[in-house]
Amino acid sequence: LIALRDTPRVEAEIFMAAVHGAMLSARAYGDTAIFATVMDAQLARLSAAD
């Protein structure tokens, strides 16, 4: 189940910003595990039930 805290449009923007930021961080650090770390946290945020 997905728990949205804002409108779907805003949540989509937040999600894509996280994806892009995770890609940039992974590239900057030369460590693909950073992408997984960031995205795991983002996915947990979306799946957390209040």
5-34 residue pLDDT tens:
999 999 999 999 999 999 999 999 999 999
The type of residue at 36 is A
d(CA 33, CA 36): 5
4 contacts: CB under 8 Å, gap ≥ 6: 11, 46
Global pTM reads 0.83
Residue 28 CB coordination number (10 Å): 9
More confident residue, 36 or 1: 36
Place of tokens 């900057």: 28
Nearest C-alpha neighbor of 20 from the set 38, 33, 1? 38
